[in-house]
Structure 1
Amino acid sequence: MPEGIIVKALSGYYYVQGEHGGEPVQCRGRGIFKKRGESPLVGDRVVYGETENGEGTVDEILPRSSELARPPVANADLAVLAFSVVRPELSLGLLDKFLVHIEHAGLDAVIVLTKLDRIPEGEEGERIRRDVAAAEALYSAIGYRVLKTSAHRGEGLDELRTVLAGHINVLAGQSGVGKSSLVNALVPGLQLETNEISDKLGRGKHTTRHVELVPLAGGGYMADTPGFSQLDFAELGIDEIGSCFREFAELSSSCKFRGCTHTHEPQCAVLEAKEQGRIADSRYDNYASFMTEWKENKRRY
């Protein structure tokens, strides 16, 4: 039986790309998956069989190296977090929420700041540039790679292509940050639908309606995924939020108490580092906010 990778899931069909290339085979999943409570995901490596009418069936899901709940993608190993610097403005709170999700899933992440060509002139533009420089310094120091791009002008795209090569990359970020424009610039001729930011709502329309793996010229795939702005920690099953903050995880072994929440305990290495300025206020404040949200959601669930 041949093996392949699911590159698209749409309307009950799974499109499987075989190991030797060619057009993906349109497949149905076997009923056994529903009985087991399983569901094939885009990115799954599967065993499939072809039927007489040119379609096929997904017969077996091979073991996964990773699994994301939102967006629903299997076997991704690099998350590309796209955040625009204008319209919508860069939100470190939302960025940290995405990073918690990605760290929990066990993926590495690269932060891609988009729309550099949209920075206005004058005082507002100078403020935005200062904020971008501060964010780049902060997250680089934590250990994340930060790239600054303009899909319109082609800035930063060669470096991004090098980073993505050979990986199953999941592209994520809230609506309107330019994800589809970024993919279109990386894969010429693809022409994914794009939308400008709504003046009334201040956010973009959801132009990507299903998850699909797009092959990259340098090898590997990019998963272009539906935009989203809300990540629920309880829904995602994330309990150890502190371990998803890289700089906290390095310090937590020095806390006096095992299971320290880094919020009120004495001799907490994280709180001490915060007081000494070794942890950014924005990162700690977001962590504290996430802990409050997590506790409220846990009671609700």
Structure 2
Amino acid sequence: MSKKKPLSQGQLRRMRNNQKKKLQSSEPSDNTPELQDNSLGPEQLGTIISRFGQHADVETETGHLARCNIRRNIKSLVTGDKVIVRLALTSESGASRIEGIVEAVHPRHSLLSRPDLYDGVKIIAANIDQILIVTSVKPAFTTQIIDRYLVASEDTGIAPVIVLNKVDLITPEELPEIEAALQRYRDIGYDVYKVSSKTGEGVEQINQLMDGKVSVFVGQSGVGKSSMINAMMPDAELLTGDISENSGLGQHTTTTAKLLHISTGGDLIDSPGVREFALWHLPAERVGQCFIEFRDYLGTCKFRDCKHLNDPGCSIAEALEAGEISQDRYQNYHKIIASLDEQRHARHFRAGPDE
């Protein structure tokens, strides 16, 4: 069987234009009917629990949950946003009824976003107090993924916490290496917790950590984010997925970010899983700033354009030699830097030369 001939740039461009036309034709038109102002009650505060296309589930301060339309002038609305909402004076029957309209969005004190090859930088959630970076020994424990999430967290200014899940699966042979890696993070100031959603180990500590805060779990698919939530909140009844036996990669189990209330206190935003947190939107200088132990040395190298490799007079290399920076973190930094151009090139190819 002969191989298919690769598509030309012109064919790719026509395919993208056709896809855009289909998406635009499926979007609601300006003539889509909305609730009339005279059928709505007074303005009140609400929180976005989840967003579904042109609709959002909003929880009011009285605890009422209502599915609402979104005013067309609202350009961005995500889980965790604080909003002004007006509810209908009378409600219609039916499970999918629209009960109100989101009128405006309050300023955000923080937001979590991730780059997307097709959509650019995409906001995941807003008004978060801390990011729980969940990793595990299965499908694989890797500090490179942890460091990517730490860079993303430091860039947003949201406090990160490292959580190692599935500790019941650690073998005696794996334990020394994993413990040494976790200790390196503790040494530079990060909080690290060890949890098993299966045995319940560490779950109470996580509950205490989240009390009174809005938290978000991030991590690769398959690390057990949903299983942890189920252990903390049995009533949540989130789907859990097994690790694919063929690829070793986790199955995606969450498709829409959703805000959940924790019975012991605090809120949790469960976000869609991502297998790799791309950082192509960050300049190399910003990545360096997001490695917190590098900060005291940045700007002190002999040459302003120092790449922190074999450059003479490199303060980062000298700190590495002196044991002030770990070899593991240093290598992960350079892996991230090396990946930036590759990811930018991939986005340029997929988005098209005109974008």
Query: What is the TM-score normalised by the length of structure 1?
Result: 0.90
Alignment of 1:151-300 (within 5 A): 151-234=197-280, 236-237=281-282, 239=284, 240-257=286-303, 260-298=306-344
Q: 1:62 aligns with which of 92, 106, 110?
A: 106
Question: What is the deviation of 1:265?
Answer: 4.0
Q: 1:90 aligns with which of 117, 138, 141?
A: 141
> Match of 1:251, SS?
coil
State the distance in 2 between where 1:190 and 1:253 align. Answer: 48
Which blocks of at least 5 consecutive residues in structure 1 are unaligned?
A: 120-124
Question: What is the deviation of 1:289?
Answer: 1.2
Question: 1:62-97 CA distances to partner (integer Å, 9 max, x unpaired)?
Answer: 111112123610111200111012x21211111111
Structure 1 residues 259-268 or 177-186, which shifts more? 259-268
Does 2:57 match 1:5? no
Q: Quick one: structure 1 residues 256 and 2, their matched pair in 2 at CA, closer, same or farther if it must change by over 3 Å? A: farther
State the distance in 2 between where 1:181 and 1:265 align. Answer: 46
* Letter of the structure 1 residue corresponding to residue 127 of structure 2: N
Question: 1:186-237 CA distances to partner (integer Å, 9 max, x unpaired)?
Answer: 1122121111111112122111111001111233211111111122222x44
Question: What is the deviation of 1:127?
Answer: 2.2
The residue aligned with 2:13 is none
* Letter of the structure 2 residue corresponding to residue 245 of structure 1: F
Contact 1:5/1:46 (8 A) holds in 2: yes
> Match of 1:25, SS?
strand
* Letter of the structure 2 residue corresponding to residue 26 of structure 1: R
State the distance in 1 between where 2:291 and 2:86 align. Answer: 43
The residue aligned with 1:51 is 88
Q: Quick one: structure 1 residues 49 and 261, their matched pair in 2 at CA, closer, same or farther if it must change by over 3 Å? A: farther
The residue aligned with 2:167 is 116
Q: CA RMSD in A?
A: 1.8
Contact 2:148/2:279 (8 A) holds in 1: no
Contact 1:88/1:176 (8 A) holds in 2: yes
Does 2:125 match 1:73? yes
The residue aligned with 2:59 is 17
> Match of 1:69, SS?
strand
State the distance in 1 between where 2:234 and 2:305 align. Answer: 49
* Letter of the structure 2 residue corresponding to residue 161 of structure 1: N
> Match of 1:14, SS?
strand
Which blocks of at least 5 consecutive residues in structure 2 are unaligned?
A: 1-42, 92-98, 115-122, 349-355
State the distance in 2 between where 1:199 and 1:220 align. Answer: 36
State the distance in 1 between where 2:50 and 2:294 align. Answer: 37
The residue aligned with 1:26 is 67
Q: 1:101 aligns with which of 127, 152, 169?
A: 152
Contact 1:184/1:191 (8 A) holds in 2: yes
> Match of 1:294, SS?
helix
> Match of 2:236, SS?
coil
State the distance in 2 between where 1:53 and 1:208 align. Answer: 33
State the distance in 2 between where 1:216 and 1:51 align. Answer: 29
* Letter of the structure 2 residue corresponding to residue 32 of structure 1: N
> Match of 1:199, SS?
coil
Contact 1:44/1:64 (8 A) holds in 2: yes
Q: Quick one: structure 1 residues 256 and 53, their matched pair in 2 at CA, closer, same or farther if it must change by over 3 Å? A: farther
Contact 1:252/1:260 (8 A) holds in 2: no
State the distance in 2 between where 1:264 and 1:232 align. Answer: 26
Question: What is the deviation of 1:102?
Answer: 1.1
* Letter of the structure 1 residue corresponding to residue 259 of structure 2: L
State the distance in 2 between where 1:199 and 1:179 align. Answer: 19
The residue aligned with 1:122 is none
Q: Quick one: structure 1 residues 178 and 140, their matched pair in 2 at CA, closer, same or farther if it must change by over 3 Å? A: same
State the distance in 2 between where 1:82 and 1:114 align. Answer: 7
* Letter of the structure 1 residue corresponding to residue 47 of structure 2: I
> Match of 2:312, SS?
coil
Q: 2:79 aligns with which of 22, 34, 42?
A: 42
> Match of 2:228, SS?
helix
State the distance in 2 between where 1:4 and 1:257 align. Answer: 52
Q: Quick one: structure 1 residues 258 and 62, their matched pair in 2 at CA, closer, same or farther if it must change by over 3 Å? A: farther
